[in-house]
Amino acid sequence: MIAPRAPLPLTHLPIPKVRDFAILSGLEAGIRGTLMSVMPLVVYRAYGDAATVSQIYLAVGIVSLIFGLLVPWLAGRLSRRLMYSVGSVLYVLGIALAMTGLPALVPIALGCLSVATVTVAVCLNAYVLDYVARTNLGKSETLRLVFSGPSWAAGPIIGVWLLNWWTPAPFIVAGCFAAAQIFVFWRLRLGNGKQITRARTPSPLPIAFLGRFVAQPRLIAGWLFAVVRSCGWWVYVVYLPIYCVEKGLGDTVGAAALSASNMFLFVAPAMLVLVRKLGVRASVSGAFLIGGALFVAAWVTSDLPWVVVGSLFAASSMLIMLDVCGGLPFLMAVKPSERTEMSAVYTSYRDVSGILTPAVAALVLMVMPLAGLFAVCGGGMLGAGMLARGLHPRLGAVRVQRT
């Protein structure tokens, strides 16, 4: 007589936690932080002309913006898990092509890295919206910054040092981060996320969800906050070092200021406590208004270089504050049925700011010195701060349910 077989216990896949997404963000920051200062040097060494470098970056930004809007449609036709994996593989491909340093391959490498960034960002944002509760989004953003902080603080300096020591070295380090990212993602077995949709229909084309985005003023405002914040970082990272060189401070002052600013990422948890105490509206509007005033002050004192550096360094702390809470107005307004699509729209702020900032800078420099760009950026931040005053005062507060 055959003994009865013991019943098999029913198990389910572990639910990913906030920490898991922070680890993925930290690994991606390792790739981008290491190559942040390396890729501009590689492109410049390949062509030796700043104008050509600007044209390449502009073309890559446009391609990245278009592809980022197509990611939700591709994720619907294929799968979100596959698209995230494709983005990670594009990181590896871009790193391999950039390592050659050949003029014919360097622009393709830069394009692969840019498309990889937007693809991974769209998919990761959608996963976060699937598995992280609305009341924990602030914690998720803060923990993400904490895990990414070391790479953003040390990556640019270490990457350039490795490049000067041995050309392939920074690409090998970035490749190790890319391989670890792929391993961790597949180990989490996230699949396609929670399928919260109205019906099992293919993901619409970008033009369809762009219409829904335009019809929701809260999403437009949240996206504008992200664009202005990113433009502020562009001005600080790219044009402050140029200003320092023009004023005779040397080319290391701007890099040192950037590394010091990234150290603010380690106090992101304290900033989150402040956000919870003040509320999302007061935090976002206050950070924009104070940061904008500091940018304008840098323009007013443009004849005092060290004062300008100090003013913009203080403004960078407000940009870090906006990294903590600036994305919450958009993330908290997204409908569950539109998570993937609207994540693509939100992620486009990187490419839009990457196109908008150099274009505005070119116009400003035609009629004003470089410091005039600080005034324009400060004006944009002040406008965003006034717009943020219109947010709901209880946005982000924990809802109390009656029994």
Domain count of the chain? 2
Q: Would you state the pLDDT for residue 363? A: 78
d(CA 237, CA 234): 5
Of 210 and 187, more confident: 187
Q: Would you state the pLDDT for residue 140? A: 72
Task: For residue 188, tell me if it sits in a domain.
Answer: yes
Q: What is the pLDDT of residues 335-390, one digit of tens each?
A: 666 666 676 677 778 778 877 877 787 778 778 887 888 999 999 999 988 888 87
Q: What is the pLDDT of residues 43-59, one digit of tens each?
A: 777 876 655 666 777 77
Q: In this structure, are residues 289 and 382 in contact, taking their beta carbons and an 8 Å threshold? A: yes
**Is the domain of 60 the same as that of 142?**
yes
What whole-number percentage of the chain has pLDDT above 70? Answer: 78
Burial of 127 by CB count in 10 Å (0-12 exposed, 13-18 middle, 19+ buried)?
A: buried
Q: Would you state the pLDDT for residue 95? A: 92
Q: What is the pTM of this model?
A: 0.69
**Is the domain of 61 the same as that of 29?**
yes
Q: In this structure, are residues 21 and 140 in contact, taking their beta carbons and an 8 Å threshold? A: yes
**Is the domain of 252 the same as that of 189?**
no
Structural domain including 237 reads 204-392
Q: What is the pLDDT of residues 115-144, one digit of tens each?
A: 898 888 888 877 877 777 666 666 676 777
Task: For residue 401, tell me if it sits in a domain.
Answer: no
The DSSP line for 360-391 is: HHHHHHHHS-THHHHHHHHHHHHHHHHHHTTS
Task: For residue 3, tell me if it sits in a domain.
Answer: no
Residue that finishes a domain, picked among 159, 183, 198: 198
**Is the domain of 173 the same as that of 245?**
no
Q: Would you state the pLDDT for residue 248? A: 79
CATH number at residue 314: 1.20.1250.20
Task: For residue 9, tell me if it sits in a domain.
Answer: no
**Is the domain of 254 the same as that of 186?**
no
Q: H/E/C letters for each residue in 122-162?
A: HHHHHHHHHHCCHHHHHHHHHHHHHHHHHHHHHHHHHHHHH
Task: For residue 402, tell me if it sits in a domain.
Answer: no
Task: For residue 39, tell me if it sits in a domain.
Answer: yes
Residue 176 has pLDDT above 60, yes or no: yes
Task: For residue 270, tell me if it sits in a domain.
Answer: yes
Task: For residue 271, tell me if it sits in a domain.
Answer: yes
Task: For residue 269, give both structure tokens.
Answer: 């948890």
d(CA 182, CA 163): 25
**Is the domain of 151 the same as that of 241?**
no
pLDDT tier at 208 (50, 70, 90 boundaries)?
low
DSSP reduced 3-state for 263: helix
HSE-CB at 261 with a 13 A cutoff on CA atoms is: 25
Q: Would you state the pLDDT for residue 293? A: 92
Residue that finishes a domain, picked among 198, 229, 255: 198
Residue that finishes a domain, picked among 142, 174, 198: 198
